[in-house]
């Protein structure tokens, strides 16, 4: 079993492996498998990337995100400029109709509203905005149009688990109530937990995911 010190070292090395990040800007502490990331970066994208990289490390049970986004005044855009940049980016996005989404910007915090057909469109809009300069945070309130019954959704999600080579479908269970999908069971890594969640987001009509999958303790061979 990995110790907290082992996990901490692995996370630091994983952050250093990503050349988009400056690992010296990010602090890493670990307690009982829970990783806390701290420090300050100059973009929301870097904050999200650091979290994504930490989740790849074996033995990580959860992430406590405490990284702040601090944008230099020389490069910081006004709320109006940010809003215009978002509208322009949405206009040229191949899978999103900008007419379906409303954008509000206040002190660099972006709120997205509207309604789309698929969860991947909702997630794509959020990812697109997080990549833009001077954006400090994103509140994604975009809703999904209901297409399938909860029973249909549950069957499609279970079938998607069986098709996915990275998942042990026998250990993962999904319950669907309205537009909320709840995942329970066990996975081998934080990465597998994220893959299961991504498979659920691909189903039409899912708006909320409660991911209660537990990460098994990694067994070390000697």
The model's pLDDT over 21-33, given as tens digits with 9 standing for 90+, comes to 998 999 999 999 9
Instruction: Confirm whether 222 is domain-assigned.
Output: no
> What CATH number has the domain bearing residue 128?
3.30.1340.30
Classify each residue of 98-123 as buried b or exposed e, where b means 16 or more C-beta atoms within 10 Å of its C-beta: bebbebebeebebbbebebebbbbbb
- For the chain, 222 residues long, give each residue's pLDDT as a single digit of tens: 789 999 999 999 999 999 889 989 999 999 999 999 999 988 888 999 999 999 989 889 889 989 988 876 766 788 999 999 999 988 888 788 888 899 999 988 999 999 888 878 888 899 899 888 888 889 999 988 766 678 888 888 889 898 988 899 899 999 988 878 999 999 988 889 989 998 888 777 787 899 999 988 755 544
Question: Strands 214-215 and 180-187, how do they pair?
Answer: parallel
Identify the domain containing residue 119 by its residue range.
Answer: 79-144
DSSP state of 216: P
Among 144, 167, 195, give the residue marking a domain's end.
144
Q: Are 213 and 204 in contact (CB under 8 A)?
A: no
Residue 42: the pLDDT is 83
Helix (H) or strand (E) holding 90: helix 79-91
Instruction: Confirm whether 220 is domain-assigned.
Output: no
Q: Which residue has the tokens 């959020």?
A: 126
Instruction: Confirm whether 74 is domain-assigned.
Output: no
Among 91, 110, 144, give the residue marking a domain's end.
144
Indicate whether 40 and 54 sit together in one domain. yes
């Amino acid at each position: 079993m990995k110790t907290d010190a082992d996990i901490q070292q692995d996370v630091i090395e994983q952050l250093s492996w990503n050349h988009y990040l400056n690992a010296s800007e990010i602090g890493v502490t670990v307690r009982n498998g829970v990783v806390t990331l701290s420090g300050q970066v100059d973009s929301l994208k870097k904050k999200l990337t650091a979290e994504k990289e930490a989740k790849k490390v074996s033995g990580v049970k959860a992430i406590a995100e405490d990284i702040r986004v601090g944008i230099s005044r020389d490069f910081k855009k006004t709320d109006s400029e940010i809003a215009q940049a978002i509208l322009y980016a949405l206009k040229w996005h191949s899978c999103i109709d900008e007419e379906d989404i409303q954008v509000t910007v206040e002190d660099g915090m972006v709120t997205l509203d509207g309604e789309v057909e698929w969860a991947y469109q909702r997630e794509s809009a959020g990812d697109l905005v997080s990549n833009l300069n001077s954006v400090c945070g994103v509140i994604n309130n975009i809703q999904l149009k209901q297409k399938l019954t909860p029973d249909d959704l549950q069957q499609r999600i279970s079938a998607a688990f069986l098709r996915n080579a990275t998942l042990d479908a026998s250990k993962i269970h999904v319950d669907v109530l309205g537009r909320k999908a709840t995942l329970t069971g066990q996975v081998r890594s934080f990465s597998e937990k994220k893959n299961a969640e991504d498979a659920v987001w691909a189903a039409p009509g899912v708006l909320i995911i409660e991911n209660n999958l537990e990460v098994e303790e990694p067994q070390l061979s000697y």
